[in-house]
Amino acid sequence: MSNEIFLEASEILKFQLNRYPLLFIDTVSVEPMSKATSRKNFTYNEWFFPSHFEGDPSVPGFILLENLAQTFIMTFLVDKKYKGMPTAFVSADNVFFKRKIKPGNVIETTGVLEYFSRGIAKGSVVANHLDFNSGQKELVASAQLCIAIPEVINKLVPKLPS
């Protein structure tokens, strides 16, 4: 029996604090405290395409990194103890961008939670371009992420006497 959860954009908003225009996952399938796989369709109407770059629009790297992070945080934010809590980057290591994403491209991103303790989550994330003609996947970006839940960490910090 699987405890996999499938969420569309309106439901994702219940679990993470990213909102338009900075929500970069359309759907996500989550195995809580284990793995999340999202999809994002980058339409020509995205706010950043007209200026990045005129004549040859592409998704900026910071948006791809944010897509990786938003997918990854869903691995633990679907747990009722952490639902809706703010998160913060601790580190993004071994970040690689392998392919340009253009208007109309769809990417599938998979994040794997490798460690979670005391409000610190570590794992790996990979995004692939989905080619509808061939059915092939091509690597877009990847990273090793460390994300914190400050609210959890702050509860663990010893309080000094007044």
Give Cβ neighbours of residue 145 (< 8 Å, ≥ 6 apart). Answer: 68, 69, 72, 89, 91, 92, 93, 111, 121, 122, 123, 124, 125
Using CB atoms within 10 Å of the CB of residue 148, give its burial: 0 to 12 exposed, 13 to 18 middle, 19+ buried: middle
| Choice among 52, 99, 122, 137 that is catalytic | 52
Instruction: Identify whether 129 is a catalytic site residue.
Output: no
Nearest to 42, CA basis, from 122, 138, 108 = 108
Q: Which residues are catalytic?
A: 52
